[in-house]
Amino acid sequence: MKPRRRTLLLILVLAVAAWFGRARILTALGAYLVDASAPEKADIAVVLAGDITGHRIVTAGDLVKNGYVPVALISGPNRIYGTHECDLAIAFAVKKGYPEAYFAHFEDDVWNTGEEVAAIMVELRRRNVHKVLLVTSNYHTHRALQLFRKAAGDITAIAIAAPDDNFTPAGWWKNREGQKTFLSEWEKTIAMWVGL
C-alpha cells in the first residue's frame, strides 16, 4: 500500500474511533475541570462570586449547618445594578431559611478569579485561617483550586463543588448552556496555563 493511502486509512480509522468514543473523550474533557472533594472540618468556607443560581451560597449554608465550618465568607464584587453580589447571595440564602449569621460579607472590586483569590487571601490572613473549604461551581473547581493553592502558601484549601444546572462532566455537550460553560472554562484554564 502506498504511503499516502496508508496515511488516509489511518486518519479514517482514527476518525471512526473518535466518533464512537466521543462520549468518553467529551466526558474526560469535562471531568478535567472538576477537582472537588468531600467536605472536612475547616476554619472557614469561602464562596467565590459568579453564581446567579444560588447553588454556591446554599452549598456553603449546608457546610455551616452541618458543622464543617463556623462561617462562610461570601465574596461579592459590585457589578449587579450597584449592589455587591455577596449582599444578594446572602439575602437569597436567608430567604431559603439559612440564618444570616452563617455568612460573612466580603465586598470586593475584582473582575476575575485570580484577582478574587488575591483579595480573599488578605482577608484569610487577617483572620488567621489555616484551612479553607473553597465553594464554587463544579466546572470551576479545578482552576479555582489551582489559583488558590498558588496564592495560599501555608493555607490548606479543599474545593467543594456546588452543582450546576447545565454542566455535568458526563453530559455537558447535550445542552447549549453546558457547551458554553465548557468552552468558557477551558478558555480560562488555557489562559491560566499560559499566564494570561
pTM score: 0.88
Alpha-carbon distance of 196 to 190, in angstroms, equals: 9
| Predicted local confidence at residue 11, as pLDDT | 75
| Predicted local confidence at residue 80, as pLDDT | 83
Q: Which three cell numbers stand for residue 170?
A: 458526563
Q: What is the mean pLDDT of the chain?
A: 92
pLDDT band at 14 (very low <50, low <70, confident <90, very high): low
Does some domain include residue 15? Answer: no
| Predicted local confidence at residue 13, as pLDDT | 67
Residue-number span of the structural domain to which 73 is assigned: 33-165
Neighbours of 154 (CB within 10 A): 6
Alpha-carbon distance of 9 to 45, in angstroms, equals: 54
Does some domain include residue 20? Answer: no
Does some domain include residue 186? Answer: no
Q: 42-75: per-residue pLDDT in tens?
A: 999 999 999 999 999 999 999 999 999 999 999 9
CATH of the domain at 121: 3.40.50.620
Between 146 and 1, name the one with better pLDDT.
146
**Angle at which helices 176-193 and 22-32 pack, to 10 degrees?**
60
SS3 category, 25: helix
Q: Which residue has the cell 477537582?
A: 35
| Predicted local confidence at residue 16, as pLDDT | 66
* Residue 153 pLDDT exceeds 90: no
* Residue 18 pLDDT exceeds 70: no
Between 195 and 20, name the one with better pLDDT.
195
* Residue 36 pLDDT exceeds 70: yes
Alpha-carbon distance of 59 to 145, in angstroms, equals: 17
Q: How many domains does the chain have?
A: 1
The mean per-residue pLDDT over the stretch 178-186 comes to: 96
In the 8-state DSSP scheme, what is residue 75? E
| CB contact set of 130 (below 8 Å; sequence gap of 6+) | 43, 154, 155, 156
Does some domain include residue 184? Answer: no
For 113-140, letters b (16+ CB in 10 Å) and e give: bbebbebbbebbeeeebeebbbbbbbbb
Alpha-carbon distance of 94 to 90, in angstroms, equals: 6
pLDDT band at 79 (very low <50, low <70, confident <90, very high): confident
For residue 54, how many C-alpha atoms fall within 13 Å in the half-sphere facing its CB? 13
Alpha-carbon distance of 133 to 142, in angstroms, equals: 14
Alpha-carbon distance of 134 to 143, in angstroms, equals: 12
